[in-house]
Amino acid sequence: AMEDVCAKFVSQKVSKARWRPLPAAALQPPDIFATGSWDNEDNRISIWSVGDLGNVGLNGEYQGEPQLLCDIRHNGDVMDMQFLDQERIVVASSTGNVTIFRHHQNNQTLSTNQRWEKAHYHVDRNASCGGAACTGVICNNPEVVTVGEDGRINLFRADQKDAVRTIDNADSSTLHAVTFLRTTEILTVNSIGQLKIWDLRQQRNEPSQIFSLTGDRVPLHCVDRHPNQQHIVATGGQDGMLSIWDIRQGTMPVSLLNAHEAEMWEVHFHHSNPDHLFTCSEDGSLWHWDTSTSVAEKPSFLHQGGRSTTYFSHNTINQSVVSAWLSNDPTKDRMEITNLIPNQTLSVNSLDILGPCLVYGTDAEAVYVNRHLFA
């Protein structure tokens, strides 16, 4: 329901939005998120509180808007951003730098905790202008993996100034995104439609496996791994298609799903509820893909004026979650797809989801929070 969404206009194009992780035993919903901006004269990393929880309307709906707690200037466009822990955020820059910022919660300030200068560079690291954009970062505290336009992969450790490992010519094309497959293995996606697995225990500088989209070599922009079924991976790319891969078999995606009408910028499985998946796009839409088996009992919320909910035919009620994502013909399985932003026009660059809460950022210089995603 759209009335659950609060917008905050931030006079910056928002390139990334991330929830601060909750402590392991926490029962409360997430309350703090970070954003990074791009394409502004002065880019910033900002920390927000979701707003005043006491501010509840007549029907129990949440009314407060996000409040800025603190911000700090960032050199270059924010290309990616991940929390390392509850206080530190790792930020990838278009300048090639990778910076860890610390959020001091006692006095609500941000400071630079550590910086790897020109982690990514084209020709010569020491050239004044040689930086190559760092396009993706993923963390598994204390480890930080970065990928870039230069086809390089770096493994850093927080609090160490030199890279633990660098694979210089990992890829001859741009690496756009990276994620952990397991603690010693990472997955990268590149600008010629390939998904590669790298085993960081191996000293070899070649991937242990290569998968690719057949034919078109469509650039892939984003990747996420199913949280429980580690062989299931989702990617999205320039053509807006959602690809689901089973890395145990074959070298091609198991299924290609028609999704957005322009580049897909991010794809995320819901961490504790992975039969739900979320994608966002340059076309101004944010889709919720639901393969949970209770679709038949759900009311269909059809927004006016647009194909917002698509039902694939329901022939089997008890399809397991796994086979729903891995079916060769997802149209046989039941999947409900809802566009959570029926009439947005500018690019939705980033989304993050934690528990019942969704945050997303757009080129319309706004960040949006929905705290009742599964209401």
Q: Which residues of 146-179 are buried (b: 16+ CB within 10 A; e: fewer)?
A: bbbbbbbbbbbebeeeebeeebeebbeebbbbbb
CA 271 to chain centre: 12
What does the pLDDT read at residue 216? 77
Looking at residue 206, its amino acid is E
The neighbour count for residue 220, using CB atoms within 10 Å, is 27
Domain ranges (residues) in the chain: 5-292+338-370
What does the pLDDT read at residue 57? 55
Residue numbers in the chain where pLDDT is lower than 70: 1-3, 52-63, 128, 293-324, 327-334, 375
What does the pLDDT read at residue 305? 32
What does the pLDDT read at residue 62? 55
The CATH fold assigned to 5-292+338-370 is Methylamine Dehydrogenase; Chain H (2.130.10)
CA–CA separation, 159 vs 152, rounded Å?
21
The alpha helices in the chain, defined as continuous H runs, are: 321-326
What does the pLDDT read at residue 310? 39
Reported as type and span, the H/E element at residue 35 is: strand 32-38
| Cα first-last separation, the chain | 8
What does the pLDDT read at residue 61? 54
Tokens of 372: 């009742």
CA–CA separation, 91 vs 36, rounded Å?
8
CA–CA separation, 102 vs 100, rounded Å?
7
What does the pLDDT read at residue 311? 38
Using CA atoms, how far residue 339 sits from 4, 27, 125, in Å, is: 15, 28, 43
CA–CA separation, 333 vs 355, rounded Å?
25
What average pLDDT does the chain have?
86
CA–CA separation, 247 vs 112, rounded Å?
38
What does the pLDDT read at residue 335? 82
